[in-house]
Chain A
Amino acid sequence: MKILNFHIRGKMAHFRRYYSNSSALSYSIPPRTTIIGFIAGLLGYERDSYYDEFAPAQCSVAVGIQSPQKKNIQTVSLLMIKSTNDLNGSQPFHSQTPTEIITPVHLRHGFLDYEVWFHHQNQRIMDNLYAQLRLKYGYLTRGVSAALGTAQHVGWVEDGKVLEGEEEGQAEAFIHSVIPVSNISKLNLVNHEYELHLQKEDMPIHFHNDRTIASKGNFMINASASPVHATVHRAVRLSDERIITWMEA
């Protein structure tokens, strides 16, 4: 199958955890819902209009961290919103909200780098997206600007290319994407060749049309930005010889 491969890059990111309220915590990677939102945004879909067309039955997404990153908490002073009537800041006080921001380990010299693999059954969507991503510098968009999680974390897209991928059953290999915990049969971590900083995060996979959660799953992430040796039930072997796993329940 054809797989689109590209990098979402930026200086800062915030992927809001859906259950945070008085504090704004962030996932370490863009969840599947964020990535389909990003792609739909570039293709010119309106907010909340694309969930059916980008459902797990129609399209598969994988993501990997390609540059070391860290989290930094900044308390930001937001408007206190108790009802829609307060959207103009009519409440007497502001809300001090601790906000987790993801930055490169070295903010000034580095950048965040999320490598994305994307397959959609609809070849037209694949062609349209590829057309947006094949510039030498920058990217094209029919809608919003590329941003990492929230609109002000302006980023960019680079290195768009088309790969061939072949789905495999049981595989024992270095996996270059985050791995759904349900897909892991064994982690082979003794004498591991690369640095490991493993963490598990529970993330949404898809939304209903009203933006409530349709499915979620646990994912194993290596925050030190290198592949993890694991035995998995299902994998995808890419034409560049790397192996990834889709984000699925």
Chain B
Amino acid sequence: MIINNNSDFLFAFEANMSNPNGDPDQENKPRMDYETKTALVSDARRKRDCRNFFKAKGMPIFVDTLREQKVTMEKMLEHYRNQWLTDDQKMMALFDENAELKELWEKLSKKSKKTTYLDVYQDKDFQKDKKEFGLFNNLFITQLIQKELIDIRLFGSAMAVDNVSRTFTGPVQITWGYSMHPVDLVKSNTISSIMNEDNSTFGKKHKLHYGLFMHSGTINKLSARLTGMTEQDRELFRASLVQGMLMNQTDSKQGQTPLFYLEIQYTPSFDGFLGDLRRFLKVGCNEQQPIRSFSDLSLDDSELVEAVQYMKQAGYIDRVVGWFHPVLKVSNILRVDIDQMVDLWAPVELAGIDR
């Protein structure tokens, strides 16, 4: 089912002796606003974790290789097109859902004497009327992409079918994250070395001592209608934020731990958003002391409590969904009422996800 309500969400994680997002222009040092000692993480970093997670679970994604090979978009689309055209059941289901597509197919296929979907599609007679065929192709491929590729349904993309480019704004938008307090770079840079037989290379690794990071984001029901984002996609997205990060145990990313995820789900009739939720949170610390763990910080969400209460009383909020790290006791610190707890550590089934 396509999602029918808007949400604002907040994702918090900590980075312990870690480099959450390297700056390629500065020897891969953590991205920083040096004036305020605030570390930064791009939205693209988060989406990459999500995509890697989907891929690891066997789900096809758009920004990807095909059988380990980099292929052009045309080749990739052809692959999915042929996959569908050789699966009669998929094609029938697609036509059942999409009357316009079915009508165009019937009209164009009358001119062909071939029998299988693939043969008909590849028949010159089927493709003869360039305008009608172009229309069919555009609709068909847009549908396929939406059905096959979860990253497009969530994050949108620019696409081009038959050189007609279209931009789908992703229903899920994630802001750049930042550390909610001043951070310190580890003074001594670990030296990494790559040893070969006759030479070796030395490099530096830059890490942060500790950072509590937050990203805010929105899920837009109207954009979801255009990309076909479903309720199940929403659940997969939440899991990918948490598990995608946990899965990424590289040298620079080890030490990253998702702490909590809050999602304010509005009622289907409410057409709005609160916007960036981080403005409602106050993180306190003693700036004279080094900040080395979550216990060196205080977190006050009373402004969020107030905003959520107001929105609930006005009937705009359906429910607040929450996940907290099950071992680290972060749930005691937030006071906002959670209506539905979800388990984002729960294993996500491998591939063949039935949509």
Among A88, A142, A155: residue with most chain B CB under 10 A: A88
Identify which of A88, A141, A153 contacts B272 (C-beta below 8 A): A141
Residue B321 at the A interface, CB < 8 A? no
A138 to B279, CA, bound (A): 12
With contacts A86-B72, A137-B307 known, is A152 near B173, CB below 8 A? Answer: yes
Which residues of B have CB within 8 Å of A78?
Answer: 44
Max count, chain B CB within 10 A of own CB: residue among A74, A84, A98, A154:
A154
Q: How far is the CB of B317 from chain A (nearest CB, A)?
A: 11
Does A12 touch B at the CB level, under 8 Å? yes
Interface residue stretch chosen among B174-182, B327-335, B336-344: B174-182
Q: Mark A1-36, 1 if CB is under 8 A from B, else 0.
A: 000000001111000000000000000000000000
Using known A-B contacts A75-B25, A89-B63, A144-B222, determine if residue A138 contacts B275 with beta carbons closer than 8 Å: yes
A213 interface hit (Cβ, 8 Å): no
* Chain B residue with Cβ nearest A108: B38
Say yes or no: B275 contacts A146, CB within 8 Å: yes
Please tell me which one of the listed residues B76, B178, B270 contacts residue A11 in the complex, with CB atoms under 8 A apart. B178
Selected from B72, B275, B283, the residue in CB contact (under 8 A) with A156 is B275
A10 and B24 contact, Cβ closer than 8 Å, known pairs A90-B73, A101-B176, A152-B173: no
Q: How many angstroms from the CA of A9 to the CA of B175 in the assembled complex?
A: 14
Bound together, the chains give a CA A147 to CA B181 distance in angstroms of 24
A214 interface contact, C-beta 8 A: no
Q: Would A96 and B24 be within 8 Å (CB), given that A141-B273, A156-B274 are in contact?
A: yes
Task: Let me know if B160 is at the binding interface, CB within 8 A.
Answer: yes
- Residue A88 contacts which of B62, B216, B218 (CB distance < 8 angstroms)? B62
Q: How far is the CA of A135 from the CA of B217 in the complex (A)?
A: 20
Docked complex: A117-139 residues within 8 A CB-CB of B: 132, 135-139
Q: Report the minimum CB–CB distance from A66 to chain B (whole Å).
A: 15
Contact B33 A107, beta carbon cutoff 8 Å? yes
Among B89-97, B161-169, B193-201, B289-297, which stretch is in contact with chain A? B161-169
Alpha-carbon gap, A144 to B40, bound state (A): 25
B275 touches A139 (CB 8 A): yes
Q: How far is the CB of B7 from chain A (nearest CB, A)?
A: 10
- Whether A200 sits at the interface, judged by CB under 8 Å, is no
CB of A175, distance to nearest CB on chain B (Å)? 29
Give Cα distance in the complex from A96 to B22, angstroms.
Answer: 12
List residues of chain A with CB within 8 A of the CB of B310.
Answer: 136-137
A147 and B173 within 8 A (CB)? yes
The reply to whether the CB of B301 lies closer than 8 angstroms to some CB of chain A is no
Question: Which residues of chain B are near A79, meaning CB under 8 Å?
Answer: 63
Instruction: Give, as a whole number of angstroms, the nearest-CB distance from B14 to chain A.
Output: 16
- The answer to whether residues A87 and B272 also contact, given A142-B222, A144-B220, A147-B173 and a CB cut-off of 8 A, is no
User: Are A154 and B175 within 8 A (Cβ)?
Assistant: yes
List A residues 55-100 near B (Cβ within 8 Å): 70, 72-79, 84-92, 96, 98
